[in-house]
Structure 1
Amino acid sequence: MTDAAHDLARQLGRQAEAVCRHYLSAGRRQGHYWQVGDARNAPGRSMFVRLRDSAHGPAGKWTDAATGEHGDLLDVIRESRGLSNFSDVVVEAQAFLRLPPASRYAEAPPRTRPCSPRDPVISAHRVFAAAQPIPGTIVETYLRNRGITALHETGSLRFNPRCYYRPDAHGSTQLLPAMIAAVTDLTGRIMGIHRTWLAPDGSDKANIATPRRAMGHLLEHAVRFGRADDVMAAGEGIETILSVRTALPSLPMVAALSAAHLAVIAFPPDLRRLYIVRDNDPAGDRARDSLIARANSTGIEAVVLSPALGDFNEDLRAFGVDALRAELRCLLAPEDVNRFMMLSRDLKEQGAGLR
């Protein structure tokens, strides 16, 4: 890239969020990143555009976790506008940079207007601190209704009986019961939260348009169950991970909350074997392939755990815990079978070790 092109990319990077709102309007801000399907502005969550300079790189750099593609905001302009000649990309970029900020935002859908300046990490801390432990609540009812009985080491989960829910920017706020999950980094610091709104009796998720939502800085972080050391399992959903943990109660596990976030999850420094708990769909396949490549490049052994049905919670509910345990036994490394399949006396009792 020429010096002039580098300079143009840097100018775009200084207005990274405005560029994303204009050219990637199908996405939305997620912490310090813009999240969208791809550089062609497809809906989805696999592409992340950095909105601020950081130790990992300058603002405007992006990565598509599903395909491995990466680039800068000039590439975004080229792909989103379908331009084949670089001279046309330069003309488009220069035209954008001459637009006043109000004009840029006016072209974006109402839901993508600038976010509140409030720090989402601070908000996540407040929401989690205001919630209560799950024993005896409808969160426990909800999980047990899904066949999940391994509720030890679930301090990352809490219950809020009156959690704010708004269907969209124009809808009225409701107060609904919700499972609150802390999203933490490798040191245990809360970086965000995930909310699952529930039916009043805990029988299922709430009957609303989007019963699951996250906030904060999710990239590389996860909801954690157990302390990871040399062996860990990682998957997408909380219910999926807790289903596997019902069969393997002493294996440390993390839930990344989506296939895109699973693909870029951070590895603990002492990790030597990673069990990839995949969902049985194309997004799960892409996350699996990305994790295998990343793990192998750092000397970590990657072992894939694949469900018979759509995910392991479906397997647990359809076949029962004994069948799930037998299914997983065949997939574990031989040295991990006794290590992680031996149920302690306490863990055999319903609700044992719950905290």
Structure 2
Amino acid sequence: MRSDIMQAGMLADALARQAVAVCRYYLASGRKQGRYWICGDVHGNPGRSLFVRISGRRAGKWCDAATGEYGDLIDLIMLNRGLALRDALAEARHFLRMPRLPEPPVTYSHENPDVYDPVAAARRLFAASVPITGTLVERYLDSRGIHLMQDHTALRFHPKCSYRNETGFEVWPAMIAAVTGLDGVITGIHRTWLDPQTCGKAPVAQPRRALGQLLGHAVRFGQVGDIAIAAEGLETALTLKLLFPNLPVLAALSAAHLGALILPDSLQRLYVARDNDPAGWRAFNRLRSRHIDRDIRALVPRLDDFNADLVTFGPDPVRHWIVRQLLPEDVPQFVSCSQPARCRHASGYGSA
């Protein structure tokens, strides 16, 4: 068994050096997007929940945002083919001996300005966007029951944001959210393309996409102290910020990223507004297992997520529902939040 484990590590490294070829063979319905191969699941079905890193030091690592599963390419082959470890090792050795056309290397450089840098591209796009006051973003959020009452400088509006489809590019307005690390530096962005006619999401295959480095980071609303709220989605986070405006809220942007959040040392208690599905439970449990020194507690919505609750039931019933799930000593800090003046959006955000 120990020999199998040693072989698994060596074969996983060899597969990682040919990560794109592995993905083309075992996940043929997927496609390359930046540093990742994206498809629906480990069986290669169409979709966007499985992310396989195809370049860099983490090449070959994968995570399924829908199930919370993750691993290396040996794990992927085991699940894809329904094999035990020893049979998966034999399958990997067979794959590595197969002839194939060479793949062009996927490289990124921070020194060569002619090479695409997704983090730099994310910062440029955010800098090129404008405050959301009076824009389509406000109308979109209003349609989701989110009437902003604070200075949310993490959000901006881009009137003509390029969207890559299967044949080229099209242009739509977009809500741009800044993803930052603990130091406040932008590491990526999240884009939600919008339809100016309906004030809803644009009629494209994937109206939400991220750019840059998201793992461990978040869209941040407020400065984290000893207590905070974390959520999967952006609209859920904004719902919580609307209901409890004086508390800091973090948007991880997916279940997988919620489980991987990096928490500041100052944070002692975190309420996790998870989505009401198995992926939400797995993300919550993973986050709690990674931070056993913190008090991490779940907030559970009535419907799919807290934004769905807000749209269906209104703010006061949702606020009361959440308060019932709090520790008694935290209730005053939540319910005594004063309502600040209508938002005044600044033109800058952090350091880049």
The two structures have a TM-score, normalised by structure 1, of 0.82
Separation of aligned partners in 1, 2:163 and 2:124: 16
Residue 188 (structure 1) aligned to one of 181, 184, 187: 184
Aligned residue identity for 1:326: H
Aligned residue in 1 for 2:228 = 232
Aligned residue in 2 for 1:110 = none
Contact 1:234 1:277 in 2 (8 A): yes
* Distance verdict in 2 for CA 1:114–1:53, change over 3 Å: closer
Aligned residue in 1 for 2:80 = 80
Q: 1:8 Cα deviation (Å)?
A: 3.0
SS at match of 1:133: coil
Aligned residue identity for 1:254: L
Aligned residue in 2 for 1:318 = 312
Aligned residue identity for 2:311: R
Aligned residue identity for 1:236: E
1:21 aligns with 2:15: no
Residue 141 (structure 2) aligned to one of 143, 147, 165: 143
Q: 1:63 Cα deviation (Å)?
A: 5.1
Query: What are the equivalent positions in structure 2 for 1:1-355 lying under 5 Å apart?
Result: 1-2=2-3, 5-29=8-32, 32-43=35-46, 48-52=51-55, 54=57, 59-62=59-62, 70-84=70-84, 86=86, 89-90=89-90, 92-102=92-102, 118-166=116-164, 168-171=165-168, 173-200=169-196, 203-295=199-291, 298-344=292-338, 347=340, 349=341, 351-355=342-346
Q: 1:43 Cα deviation (Å)?
A: 4.8
Q: 1:247 Cα deviation (Å)?
A: 0.9
Contact 1:241 1:255 in 2 (8 A): yes
Contact 1:66 1:286 in 2 (8 A): no
Aligned residue in 1 for 2:349 = none
Aligned residue-pair number: 337
Aligned residue in 2 for 1:108 = none
Contact 2:65 2:256 in 1 (8 A): yes
Superposed CA offset, 1:168-193 (max 9, x none): 2215x322211111122222222221
Q: 1:283 Cα deviation (Å)?
A: 2.5
Separation of aligned partners in 2, 1:287 and 1:273: 17
Contact 2:68 2:282 in 1 (8 A): no
Aligned residue identity for 1:212: R
Superposed CA offset, 1:143-175 (max 9, x none): 123221234241111001111123x2215x322
Q: 1:127 Cα deviation (Å)?
A: 0.9
Separation of aligned partners in 2, 1:231 and 1:265: 15
Separation of aligned partners in 1, 2:257 and 2:116: 23
Separation of aligned partners in 2, 1:19 and 1:294: 30
Aligned residue in 2 for 1:109 = none
Q: 1:230 Cα deviation (Å)?
A: 1.8
Contact 1:195 1:214 in 2 (8 A): yes
Consecutive unaligned residues of structure 1, counting only runs of 5 or more, are 106-112
Separation of aligned partners in 2, 1:69 and 1:195: 25
Separation of aligned partners in 2, 1:70 and 1:238: 23
Superposed CA offset, 1:212-244 (max 9, x none): 222222222221111112212111221111111
Separation of aligned partners in 2, 1:219 and 1:31: 15
SS at match of 2:196: coil
Q: 1:23 Cα deviation (Å)?
A: 2.1
Aligned residue in 1 for 2:111 = none
* Distance verdict in 2 for CA 1:77–1:88, change over 3 Å: closer
* Distance verdict in 2 for CA 1:209–1:35, change over 3 Å: closer
Percent of matched pairs sharing the same residue: 48
* Distance verdict in 2 for CA 1:83–1:220, change over 3 Å: same
The two structures have a TM-score, normalised by structure 2, of 0.83
Separation of aligned partners in 1, 2:329 and 2:48: 36
Superposed CA offset, 1:38-87 (max 9, x none): 54435555555444554xxx543445566665543233233323344736
Contact 1:138 1:201 in 2 (8 A): no
Contact 1:138 1:202 in 2 (8 A): no
